[in-house]
Amino acid sequence: MLPTSSIKLTLLFLTTSLLQTGTPTAIPRQAACGTLPSPIPTPSISYLPDPFTNLAGQRITTTDQWTCRKNELSLLFQNLELGILPPKPSSVTSSFSGNTLSITCSDSGKSISFSVSITYPSTGTAPYPAIIAYGGGSIPAPAGVAIINYNNDQIAQQNDQSSRGKGLFYNLYGSTHSAGAMVAWAWGVDRILDALEQTPNAKMNPASVGVTGCSRNGKGALIAGAFCPRIALTIPQESGSGGDASWRISDSIGSSTQTASEIVGENVWFSTSFNTWTNRIPTLPFDHHELAALVSPRPLLAIENTDYVWLGPLSSYGAMTAAKYIYQAVGASANFGFSQVGGHSHCVFPSSQQGDLDAFVNRFLKNGTGNTEIFRSTGNLAFNENQWIPWKGNVPVLSAGSGQPVTSSTSTTAVSAPTTTTSGVATTTSISVPVPTANCQPRWAQCGGIGYTGATCCALLRMSIILNACEN
């Protein structure tokens, strides 16, 4: 088990030799934050796990401890769900011509090359803030912000199970590398940032770069925000299960929302190591509200849609409610937003969310102002916080190692020591959840053509019906 003594502030350093292997033989080490215990404790937790209690059972009360807790969560996600994120290759070179940024990465005698196109804004001045858009993105291009069009499918394919180990990432690191497609895409985002930093004639401000994507690419954008600390603003759009939704809550809803056990059979977004956990989610020592913890305190705006049951609108709402408490603890409440609006098709950005998007972009990419303390849903969702977030009344005010409070733009209140509950959790919802028809049950995939060409189901939450309207 991890030591319960005071943990020192240290960045996470994963050994290069270990991370370059596809199937690590040992759990990666943290420099002075210890290692993951072996075996990893896996008590059954039916509610959303407390992000402020580490695997050793130690309560997190200081920023030093929180740094190590985030490192612990990073290791857990990489080892149990997503796969290992390799460090920067030994060589990253880039060139810029026209509107195309070309990138070459070399490591251990192998090289790959890829490029991204840049759509420059008609307003603003260089160097421009930018948004890396998975698959070109689905949000309107903000004024004064460049769009970096990222063909993430080139880095790691995502057609179906046959895509495992295919793409430029695997050409460099081997087809048996543990990384699922989303980690490979995040690695590509890091390389784009490397290229922007060393290519000033691209006229980008590498310190003001966001990332976005919708549906499956929204899941990927959230992973990039969690694991690429240079990302200044993370905007996952309609990422649903496997993105900003909770595995535990999705399981409780039933077959109308995509679950972990279904999603691993659909595609290669996750590491194969996750397969052993999908039928015992309560023993998974984390959940996706803790992806937001890895993004924090950096800005995060989760954009969701209430109209598609398979996305898990209740699950996303619940997980992001828990994430709100994490941002509160680190003194960054104004850096977190959740906007869930229905009445539109999947990945079709509605005008009603434009103000939310503009506020985050203006404040965090353009150094402007705006109200970014946004948490709203048009879904009339009945989420029981007391059952799913029993630790909400014990959210710490994280202090520095010296005991000084974290500087915060919002006030918080100190709380007492936590209480622990192991009782089962029953979800409470006012939603009428439709049951998929037989031909739809095997797969709840992305509707709206986000790279998926098979038959799928669109469950329209407001009308509580099944629409088989996305067949190609």
**What are the E-state strand segments in 19-127?**
91-97, 100-107, 110-119
Over range 450-468, report the average pLDDT: 32
DSSP structural state of residue 399: B
User: In this structure, what are the phi and psi dihedrals at residue 112, rounded to the nearest 5 degrees?
Assistant: -135, 160
* Structural domain boundaries enclosing 200: 91-394
What pLDDT, on a 0 to 100 scale, did the predictor assign at position 399?
Answer: 72
Residue 285 is part of a domain; what is its CATH number? Answer: 3.40.50.1820
The reply to whether 26 falls in a domain is no
The reply to whether 425 falls in a domain is no
What pLDDT, on a 0 to 100 scale, did the predictor assign at position 165?
Answer: 98
**Full DSSP string of 67-94:** HHHHHHHHHHHIIIII-------SEEEE
Per-residue pLDDT reduced to its tens digit, 40-87: 999 999 999 999 999 999 999 999 999 999 999 999 999 999 999 999
Per-range mean pLDDT, top range of 104-113, 401-410, 426-435: 104-113
Identified catalytic residue from 215, 252, 271, 339:
215
The reply to whether 63 falls in a domain is no
Residue 8 pLDDT > 50, yes or no? no
- The CA distance from 224 to 103, in Å, is 18
Angle between helices 63-77 and 216-227 (to 10 degrees): 140
Over range 277-299, report the average pLDDT: 99
Residue 29 pLDDT > 90, yes or no? no
The reply to whether 307 falls in a domain is yes
CA 115 to mean position of chain CA atoms: 24
Per-residue pLDDT reduced to its tens digit, 207-228: 999 999 999 999 999 999 999 9
- The CA distance from 244 to 404, in Å, is 32
**Across-strand partners of 115?**
102
- The CA distance from 206 to 203, in Å, is 9
The reply to whether 186 falls in a domain is yes
Give burial (CB, 10 Å; 0-12/13-18/19+) of 422: exposed
The neighbour count for residue 265, using CB atoms within 10 Å, is 12
Residue 430: pLDDT band (50, 70, 90) is very low
The reply to whether 141 falls in a domain is yes
What pLDDT, on a 0 to 100 scale, did the predictor assign at position 255?
Answer: 72
Longest distance between any two alpha carbons in the chain, whole Å: 60
* Unique residue bearing structure tokens 């992000």: 51
> Whole-model pTM?
0.82
Range with lowest mean pLDDT among 2-16, 192-206, 343-357, 371-385: 2-16
What pLDDT, on a 0 to 100 scale, did the predictor assign at position 400?
Answer: 59
What pLDDT, on a 0 to 100 scale, did the predictor assign at position 139?
Answer: 98
- The CA distance from 82 to 86, in Å, is 12
Q: How many domains does the chain have?
A: 1
- The CA distance from 279 to 180, in Å, is 19
What pLDDT, on a 0 to 100 scale, did the predictor assign at position 466?
Answer: 28
What pLDDT, on a 0 to 100 scale, did the predictor assign at position 285?
Answer: 98
The H or E element containing residue 266 is helix 260-266
Average pLDDT of the chain is: 83
**Across-strand partners of 132?**
148, 211
Measured in residues, the chain has a length of: 472
Q: Are 47 and 425 in contact (CB under 8 A)?
A: yes
By percentage, how much of the chain surpasses pLDDT 90?
Answer: 76
| Residue 345 annotated in active site | no
Residue 426: pLDDT band (50, 70, 90) is very low
Q: Are 399 and 62 in contact (CB under 8 A)?
A: yes
What pLDDT, on a 0 to 100 scale, did the predictor assign at position 256?
Answer: 87
What pLDDT, on a 0 to 100 scale, did the predictor assign at position 28?
Answer: 37
Higher-pLDDT residue of 31, 360: 360
- The CA distance from 336 to 294, in Å, is 13
Residue 420: pLDDT band (50, 70, 90) is very low
What pLDDT, on a 0 to 100 scale, did the predictor assign at position 451?
Answer: 34
Residue 314: pLDDT band (50, 70, 90) is very high
The reply to whether 371 falls in a domain is yes
The vertex-266 CA angle with 265 and 271, nearest 5°, equals 65
The reply to whether 42 falls in a domain is no
Q: Where are the alpha helices (DSSP H) in 112-259?
A: 152-155, 168-173, 181-198, 216-227, 247-253
- At position 265, the amino acid (one-letter code) is G
The answer to whether the peptide bond before residue 297 is cis (omega within 30 degrees of 0) is yes
| Residue 177 annotated in active site | no
Identified catalytic residue from 177, 288, 289, 346:
346
**Across-strand partners of 336?**
300
What pLDDT, on a 0 to 100 scale, did the predictor assign at position 134?
Answer: 99
- The CA distance from 267 to 162, in Å, is 8
